[in-house]
A and B are shown apart, each in its own frame.
Chain A
Amino acid sequence: MRLKSELPPELKYQAVVTEAAAREAGLDFFDVVFEVLDASDVNGVAAYGGFPVRYPSWRFGMEYERLEKGREWGLSKIYELVINNDPTYAYLVRSNSLLEQKLVMAHVYGHADFFRHNVWFAPTNRKMLDTMGEHAVRIRRYIDLLGQETVEEFLDIVLSLDTLVDPYLPLREHSHPAETRSVHTSASERARRALDALSLSTVPEEPPPEPSLGSRADLPTYDVLGFLSEFAPLDGWQRDILEIVRAEAYYFAPQRMTKIMNEGWASFWHSRLLTGGILDDSEILDFADCHSGATSCPPGQLNPYKIGLELYRYAEATGEDLFQLRRVHNDVSLTHKLVDESFAERVLRPILAPAGQGQEEEPDWRELKAATLRNISWGGLPQIELQAVDLEGEGELTLVHHHDGRDLKVGAAQATLLQIERIWKRPVRLRTTLDERDSWILVRDGAGSVVDIQGSDEAGGASDENLRNTA
């Protein structure tokens, strides 16, 4: 697949018209490049997270298989994809109707504006298209040198952990560069060294350095990947792969934090632009059909398109500065700021507590808001923090799950901790709450166990001992 294909004339015309309307409305974006692809190629790109090239991984193949199956069976369909990049790339599906293409284009300009101006995207790499390509080349070279199985095995371990990043870290570093933890040597420099070391030497690797932390470790931290990259006993190529996965994780992190805002913004603008002059009368019904499909919200599902759209419309009605909102907020802060009783009753109640479900007690609007916030906080993922390293003992890692009422899935958590142990090569433990009881999930020598520490003084005492915080 090649980028830079020529748009068919009618789409090209449409792109020009839509871009002009978007700029007129006050949207501002990097250049937007549209590509037209067949539906299955769009699925391929979607499986790659929106990029035409990624490193080889069966995981992408699995996602592709899922998307393709959905398409073949007519269960799901991807209308469009946008990449946060400069220029901003967007893909159109060849088989879509002209109306759908118009809608998608307007939608894309909304995303493009959001990517450029939302503050959480400020630290993201705007040349990610190229960077993804470089990452792919590096990992392919490791595969050539070390074999697919070896590289894949390590990659799978690291991918298991790719949500263990601190979504607030990039912006912190971005706005206060002085505080930045020195990123040792630059990533590319280290990549070069790792590759050199591989290709030049067949001499036995130096023994992996002991995890000596001294006082350098900056704990506690949510950036578990960063910590491991810096302190885990890894070979050069392993560290490089870990850095690649971490860089990509940080690139994607803001998208998790702003799903509602981003989709809401794009939906708000496609609706406004299309009904504000781009469509002619004969197209309005089809547009309404398509739009309502995208923003439909069955009970129990917080559709980000719907929630976001409603939030912006509500904000507009109450006289807020929309452009300011889209600049400074993320999903949590925007929801926190805008949702009041009237919004919660009108929008959230039908979704979260639909009438006629026989609930004994109708939740208060505050509970509805709290439930929504809980759902979107930390990108919808469990909040896991690396708290301490046992410096005097075995070098055991202690992580903490900040429990918000939802328990972890124990088996999955244990399996994930095992992955950390395989990198850290020392025991790992996680403190969490299971069935309302304070518990440890422990992993040691490739085996996991769960310990209930509430009410057991002995275990509790021991754990305090181990919770040596080096921060």
Chain B
Amino acid sequence: MFRIESDRARFREIVRGRVRRDLKKYLSSGELIGRAGNRVVSIPLPQIELPRFRFGQNPSGKGGAGEGGGEGQGNGEGSAGEGLGSAGEEPGRHILEVEVELEELAEMLGEELELPNIEPRGSKEIEGDGGRYSGIRRHGPDSLRHFRRSYRNALRRTIASGLWDPEAPRVVPERDDFRFRMRKTSPKPDASAVVFHMMDVSGSMGREQKEIVRIKAFWIDTWLRSQYKNLEVVYIVHDAAARTVDQETFFHLRESGGTKISSAFELCLSMIQGKYRPEDWNIYPFHYSDGDNWSARDTELCISMLRDEILPRVNQFCYGQVKSAHGSGQFKKDLDAALGEEEALVTAGINDREGIPDAIRAFLGRGR
């Protein structure tokens, strides 16, 4: 193998080390979110270059035309007369961006926060990729011909038909003698999960509160995605009424008005009863708010809905209370008081960005 591949592997290893080291920082900043694609996240790593003496940009540079020169020096040392490059070959001083697979990022997250793997309780059986050539059939391509079986059949037929001559033990196979290997697929359970992100978007949830929710949702999704092959995410926003929205809207919507948390719970529940039935899905509802609710009556309603309808159907229900200037924080207290015993309920208070890792650990640390 070409040796450069091992240098590349080493480079990637170093990069992973850096990312791991800085994970705490990423955990409480939104930096990575905009950089995540479907499968990979690209992370800027300015500090990986070797330090060297180089020119900075000083405005006081003498000689008017000087700045025009730019850094057209190309590859410097490395280029042994390389070139005829088309335009754009100049490496310039770009910040290096490295791509890390989301799965790998999740793995780092798991190690950093010591998250246990989740035991899927899903029962939805679909045909997995798993399959082996363990079957036998009468037709098939030559490449799959099972020699021993074919020969045995031919031998058996030869003997049975009395053509067998021990002096001249010749066996001529006929078409019917041939046997071929066959791929047998074995159904493998495939766990599916759905995440409900519900957020209070009433007037008291400010920009910073939403940013915290956004960061948390990103990491939670990243983790769950690594645990379940098939993860669906539903975004629900509510003030006095609830509706499902797309991701973009979820994080940027700014509503005002009252707060009726039960509206979101109702919508979530109806989806669980409809599309995301607990027999087929691992269900993770998350709700984020600043703890204010419209009335104590509505909170009552929420609690009874959780206890009687939602909690029995879901893997875990998480409530994250983001501290805001106006929020009372009452809802968490009410939930804890009424449902503190319930195993499937986790509540966490988040004061600021620093609190995000702890909240993530609280939510995902139970391995449910």
Contacts and interface: CB of A to CB of B under 8 A. Distances in A.
A64 B64 contact: no
B86 interface: yes
- Chain A at the B interface: mostly helix, strand, loop or mixed? helix
B3 interface: yes
A104 B56 CA distance: 36
A58 B14 contact: yes
A413 B80 CA distance: 27
Contact of B55 (A48, A70, A263, A406): A406
Contact of B65 (A51, A64, A70, A368): A368
A434 B8 CA distance: 38
Contacts of B77: 49, 162-163, 249, 252, 255-256
Contact of A302 (B50, B66, B70, B79): B70
Interface in B236-270: none
Interface string B83-103: 111111111000010100000
Contacts of A83: 80-81
A252 B5 CA distance: 24
Contacts of B52: 160, 163, 412, 416
A300 B70 contact: yes
Contacts of A173: none
A293 B88 CA distance: 10
Interface stretch (A19-27, A214-222, A311-319, A371-379): A371-379
B11 interface: yes
A401 B2 CA distance: 40
B12 A50 contact: no
B48 interface: yes
Contacts of B297: none
B82 interface: yes
Nearest to B51: A415
A301 B70 contact: yes
Contacts of B3: 44, 53-54, 56
Contacts, number: 228
A156 B14 CA distance: 13
A30 interface: no
Interface residues of B, number: 54
B76 interface: yes
B169 interface: no
A256 B76 contact: yes
Contact of A416 (B53, B64, B74): B53
A222 B53 CA distance: 14
B72 interface: yes
B87 A298 contact: yes
A326 to B, nearest CB: 14
A193 B90 CA distance: 42
Interface in B188-214: none
Contacts of A164: 53
Residue among B7, B56, B62, B73 facing the most chain A CB atoms (10 A cut-off): B7
Contacts of A401: 53
Contact of A76 (B50, B69, B71, B86): B86
Contacts of B56: 406-410, 412
Given A163-B53, A382-B54, A64 B69 contact: no
B188 to A, nearest CB: 33
B7 A50 contact: no
Contacts of B134: none
A226 to B, nearest CB: 17
Range of interface residues on chain A?
35 or more
Given A46-B82, A367-B65, A58 B11 contact: yes
Contacts of B84: 79-80, 103-104, 107, 294, 305
B68 interface: yes
Given A249-B77, A367-B65, A61 B51 contact: no
A296 interface: yes
Contacts of A302: 69-70, 72
Residue from B2, B6, B51, B70 having most chain A Cβ neighbours under 10 A: B51
Interface string B12-44: 111000000000000000000000000000000
B51 A419 contact: yes
Given A61-B12, A371-B69, A406 B61 contact: yes
Contact of A259 (B10, B12, B66, B73): B73
Contact of A61 (B4, B50, B54, B65): B4
A330 interface: no
A61 B10 contact: yes
Contacts of A1: 2
B66 A405 contact: yes
Nearest to B48: A62
B66 A255 contact: no
Contacts of A49: 77-80
B166 interface: no
Interface in A52-70: 53-54, 56-66, 70
B85 A60 contact: no
B74 A304 contact: yes
B64 A367 contact: yes
A264 B3 CA distance: 32
B63 interface: yes
Contact of B61 (A44, A48, A61, A405): A405
A64 B50 CA distance: 16
Contact of B85 (A47, A78, A436): A78
Interface in A61-99: 61-66, 70, 75-84
Given A48-B4, A77-B89, 7 more contacts: A56-B3, A61-B4, A367-B64, A371-B63, A406-B58, A416-B53, A436-B60
3 shortest interchain CB distances as A-B pairs: A50-B80, A415-B51, A61-B11
Interface of A: 1, 41, 44, 46-51, 53-54, 56-66, 70, 75-84, 103-104, 107, 111, 115, 148, 156, 159-160, 162-164, 249, 252, 255-256, 259, 262-263, 266, 293-294, 296, 298-305, 351-353, 359, 361, 363, 367-368, 370-372, 374-375, 379-382, 384, 401, 405-410, 412-413, 415-416, 418-419, 434-436
10 contacts: A41-B2, A56-B6, A57-B10, A60-B7, A83-B81, A164-B53, A252-B78, A299-B68, A371-B65, A409-B56
